Structure 1
């Protein structure tokens, strides 16, 4: 049974997920789990090829560097081999007026580094010949040598807890090497205390006292563990966008303001834009009382004009609680986006019981929007969902054919109905002869009918819309006339069923049998089948219901091959187009209307925060 708060993909879908994730989730086109072993061990182990590398980024802060090195050397490494790579940036050249002092400071730093004893593994020093800056220090510090090499990146003003490595090793074991408890869209773990919400007007960062681990999209820079595959993917994405002159602009984010001010001096806006595009997540800790496993002393440098002091308190053995080593299953952890809004990934419905649970969790004001994605192109779907986010329309569920796209949407938090498995679970295919060319159309109509039935039985009114209908107003799907039980669009696939006894009666009177009779009749006559036509014929058989046919021109703007000479507004709350209209032309027309809000990566151009 799938609960209302979190629905993980049922086991029967994992083979499909692994298949469809091949081309989407990583540069290597890997399966859903980092460990592709079809029979993962009950007690996963760290493999012999496991490599842990500390990447320490330093510049000209000798005291900070010394403190960081002391804390790293004081950690417990459990007899593991752990390597230390120091990346020391050079001062800017030429600066003859201050060259002697800067040379002296650089040599003092090199003397400390050369004299520092690291007994846990290799110590490698990379001393640059010219100033690279913070962005290059991060981006050029690491290229994983294998899928089993992990980097822990610290800047020189960071201090770590003696427990940090034991904690990270346990985390890697449980969330990377445990195939049943890992996801390719988790890119690492931050040990810093969570303090910042980058989405403008987002929720306050508040966690209950029981939460020790959670997932959050934001990258950390004060002690960040990086997983190899996502980092490689990011570096390739960065190279492509940088080479084409594409900037990491993500509207609605505080970090975009940082980038516009500091430009290429910082790297985080690039990574944040990448994470937004891919929908990836980071593991965070919450140890209460402002404690953390890594602490930034926020010494004067690129990010701070003057020293601010430590942001948290170091967590050590004396301040542990019983839950410190508790690595809960991913299914028990909470997930948050850039607005610190909780999302519920992997909600895939495959039977009626799961459908009831999902509907209860998404409904708003006893209303649900059923969105049909059959036949819609990915770019159009992504744009549609960006509008849903902008308008704060959360009371929807998506239906469509099982595909890589549908599973990607589900793991980003969009509730999805896996059509084929869902129909098999209710035995719907037994009703219709499937030896014909309109099988997919019948599948989509059947799913709509079953979802509508469950909505009505749960006490929810329902709108049914297609992917070729774009809301541009939060009032797009409102109840126009309460005296009617159903609305049907005259020129679109728009349909509405009110939560009422008369509407429920239509479904109670064996609507599936009525559906089969209507569809088989249309097939015999070799007529095309669509949802509103089928529903109109079914409703005509019941004299106790009132049906209103909606004239879309009163509230919607139809776009076609001609240049748009109207604007959205003046009562136009929806744009729609025919299913056979070319997707590139749809994009062009929506751009003319200012309603195309996805970028070339098919991700939303802005993060829109709506406080919970």
Structure 2
């Protein structure tokens, strides 16, 4: 139920070259991907979905209303994921599902997030990882929510198809890719606004601190060096051994 804009590849390539291979490449270690879709609804409030307009959030701030932005929300409606963090997520997801459907030794919940209830969605677990690590995704933010992908909200496992316009966005059909960016180009990474799961402007440092706090609460292994990214989830998954002195029958 996804359709992409004729300009989706240009957006993806431009952003990858800018941030993964440009002068900012040493700053983007916590960016897990590039979204083609602009968020229209915020799904993380405990009270239910709320309309999300990034241009309104950025109004009267130091950022341009139409600046691309970083968000902890993973996009599943057209996106490019980077291999390091996707590989880390693969290992994290395997371990989490093994525990959820097995011994249930670890209880991981994002504070005040509705995603904790998404028992059948992979995004629940990616959100856990993103929150714990302070990871973010880059989102487009063109005028009128013009996007590089759109969702027709067809009925399926995770969506009942009741309101088909709730996720529909206008596709970029004419080349306004540069024209619609602040000053006609992508901002440097340090000048991108950052938002948390609830669409609130925060600093990247705040996201990292929140994640490290939760890390300390759910894992016996302490958070590692702030400046060293291993892309290995083992430190998040340390739990007490339920059988510290196993008998011969347990071995």
TM-score, normalised via structure 2 length: 0.68
* 1:550 corresponds to: none
- Aligned with residue 20 of structure 2, among 162, 172, 176: 176
Q: Alpha carbons of 1:229 and 1:383: their partners in 2 closer, same or farther (altered >3 Å)?
A: closer
- Aligned with residue 113 of structure 2, among 238, 253, 262: 253
8 Å contact 1:203–1:339 — kept in the other structure?
A: no
Q: Secondary structure at the match of 2:33?
A: strand
- Aligned with residue 601 of structure 1, among 206, 223, 236: 236
Determine whether 1:193 maps to 2:38: yes
Counterpart Cα distance in 2 of 1:225 and 1:384: 27
Counterpart Cα distance in 1 of 2:215 and 2:34: 32
Higher helix share: 1
* 2:188 corresponds to: 329
Counterpart Cα distance in 1 of 2:75 and 2:69: 14
8 Å contact 2:70–2:139 — kept in the other structure?
A: yes
* 2:213 corresponds to: 382
Shift of residue 326, structure 1, vs aligned partner: 1.5
Counterpart Cα distance in 2 of 1:200 and 1:188: 26
Q: Residues 257-304 of structure 1, C-alpha deviation per residue, up to 9 Å, x if partnerless?
A: 3x2xxx23x211111111111110000011121321100011111232
Counterpart Cα distance in 2 of 1:187 and 1:319: 25
Q: Alpha carbons of 1:307 and 1:315: their partners in 2 closer, same or farther (altered >3 Å)?
A: farther
* 1:48 corresponds to: none
Counterpart Cα distance in 2 of 1:314 and 1:203: 19
Give the 5 Å matches for 1:235-274: 235-245=90-100, 246=106, 249-257=109-117, 259=118, 263-264=119-120, 266-274=121-129
Q: Alpha carbons of 1:220 and 1:248: their partners in 2 closer, same or farther (altered >3 Å)?
A: farther
8 Å contact 2:40–2:51 — kept in the other structure?
A: no
Shift of residue 332, structure 1, vs aligned partner: 1.1
Q: Residues 216-247 of structure 1, C-alpha deviation per residue, up to 9 Å, x if partnerless?
A: 00011110111111100110111122223356
* 2:243 corresponds to: none
Give the 5 Å matches for 1:197-216: 197=42, 198-200=44-46, 205-207=53-55, 208=59, 210-216=65-71
Q: Alpha carbons of 1:320 and 1:330: their partners in 2 closer, same or farther (altered >3 Å)?
A: closer
Q: Residues 26-84 of structure 1, C-alpha deviation per residue, up to 9 Å, x if partnerless?
A: xxxxxxxxxxxxxxxxxxxxxxxxxxxxxxxxxxxxxxxxxxxxxxxxxxxxxxxxxxx
Q: Residues 563-596 of structure 1, C-alpha deviation per residue, up to 9 Å, x if partnerless?
A: xxxxxxxxxxxxxxxxxxxxxxxxxxxxxxxxxx
* 2:245 corresponds to: none
Give the 5 Å matches for 1:357-372: none
8 Å contact 2:11–2:177 — kept in the other structure?
A: no
8 Å contact 1:255–1:269 — kept in the other structure?
A: yes
Q: Secondary structure at the match of 1:382?
A: helix
8 Å contact 1:241–1:247 — kept in the other structure?
A: no
TM-score, normalised via structure 1 length: 0.30
* 2:198 corresponds to: 339
Q: Secondary structure at the match of 1:314?
A: coil
Q: Alpha carbons of 1:407 and 1:302: their partners in 2 closer, same or farther (altered >3 Å)?
A: same
Q: Alpha carbons of 1:225 and 1:242: their partners in 2 closer, same or farther (altered >3 Å)?
A: same
Q: Residues 92-138 of structure 1, C-alpha deviation per residue, up to 9 Å, x if partnerless?
A: xxxxxxxxxxxxxxxxxxxxxxxxxxxxxxxxxxxxxxxxxxxxxxx
**Highest RCO, 1 vs 2 (Cα 8 Å, sep ≥ 6):** 2
Structure 1: tracts of 5 or more residues without a match: 1-156, 348-377, 387-402, 409-599, 603-612
Q: Which has the larger radius of gyration?
A: 1
8 Å contact 1:217–1:338 — kept in the other structure?
A: yes
Counterpart Cα distance in 1 of 2:175 and 2:150: 17
Counterpart Cα distance in 1 of 2:215 and 2:122: 30
Q: Residues 161-208 of structure 1, C-alpha deviation per residue, up to 9 Å, x if partnerless?
A: 000001101111111122534411100011112123324479964424
* 1:275 corresponds to: 130
Count of matched residue positions in the alignment of Structure 1 and Structure 2 = 202
Q: Alpha carbons of 1:294 and 1:406: their partners in 2 closer, same or farther (altered >3 Å)?
A: closer
Q: Alpha carbons of 1:339 and 1:161: their partners in 2 closer, same or farther (altered >3 Å)?
A: same
Shift of residue 250, structure 1, vs aligned partner: 2.7
- Aligned with residue 292 of structure 1, among 138, 144, 147: 147
Counterpart Cα distance in 2 of 1:185 and 1:383: 17
Give the 5 Å matches for 1:434-473: none
Q: Alpha carbons of 1:230 and 1:173: their partners in 2 closer, same or farther (altered >3 Å)?
A: same
For the aligned residues, what is the CA RMSD?
A: 3.3
Q: Residues 397-418 of structure 1, C-alpha deviation per residue, up to 9 Å, x if partnerless?
A: xxxxxx963547xxxxxxxxxx
* 2:78 corresponds to: 223
Shift of residue 249, structure 1, vs aligned partner: 3.5
